[in-house]
Amino acid sequence: MQQKENMRDYNLGFISNDDIYNHVQETVQKYRFKINLTKFSENLIDPIKLTFDAKVYRKSINSVIENEVLRQIDKSNTNHIGYFHQNIFRYMGNGWEVPAQGYDVVNPKLSYFVEMKNKHNTMNSSSSQKTYMRMQSTLLSNPDATCLLVEVISKKSQNVVWKMSLDGQTVSNEKIRRVSIDKFYEFVTGNRFAFKELCEKLPSIIEDILENSDFEAESNSVFSELADIDPNLLRSIYLLRECLRS
């Protein structure tokens, strides 16, 4: 870690200045700044869709490819934000842990088992049922357990019983709950406004980290590598997928 020359007192009672600084710094350092053609093409780019996008939205193929590059970078960075939300609880103390596998967050002393999702609609019906049945299995093996589905971006602040439709029937259990992130922070820290306070201090923490750190400039070699295949960028996308190789 680099020297924290300008670190302020963030005054978050539930996590130390050093811990929140280091955790945010780890997240920032995971951010993606570079992308080359190999990484770009790992996502099986659809040249037909790019053609439609360019013509329907009246954009140049360069602009459409640039949007796809940014989309891929954003998707990668979204995964890193998931790391931030999950792993911050390793610093909360009071028995909270982030295991290497299994549930996202656990508290063995209190018998709490937590699955975290970024949005309320992240899971489709199948994955929701699978998660719910996994929690049912946890309760069968540990009657004292409580299982939580914690939603980082929820429609509303809540801590409610999770009602699930299984085989056409609605099932529920007081010990299987849907909880918004603010309510989970409140439960873990005892501070009703803990998540709000974190959100308010986060810009300052990131600013301090950026002041104390050197980051590589953004590097995007996708366009130059596509041009090496064929000066016509759209045609090079087709060639990339070997659709026109002969």
Print pLDDT tens along the chain (246 aa): 444 656 789 999 999 999 999 999 999 988 877 788 888 888 778 888 889 999 999 999 889 988 888 888 888 888 889 999 999 999 999 999 999 999 999 999 999 999 999 865 567 788 889 999 999 999 999 999 999 999 999 889 999 999 998 878 899 999 999 999 999 999 999 999 999 999 999 999 999 998 887 766 566 788 888 888 888 888 887 777 664 444
8: Cα separation from own chain's centroid: 26
pLDDT at 245: 47
| pTM, 2 dp | 0.81
pLDDT at 96: 97
pLDDT at 246: 44
pLDDT at 215: 65
Angle between helices 17-30 and 61-87 (to 10 degrees): 150
pLDDT at 19: 96
CB contact at 8 A, 223 and 233: yes
pLDDT at 243: 44
CB-neighbour burial class of residue 44 (10 A; exposed 0-12, middle 13-18, buried 19+): exposed
d(CA 183, CA 80): 22
Strands 164-166 and 169-171: antiparallel
pLDDT at 194: 97
Place of tokens 């801590």: 159
d(CA 24, CA 81): 10
pLDDT at 108: 96
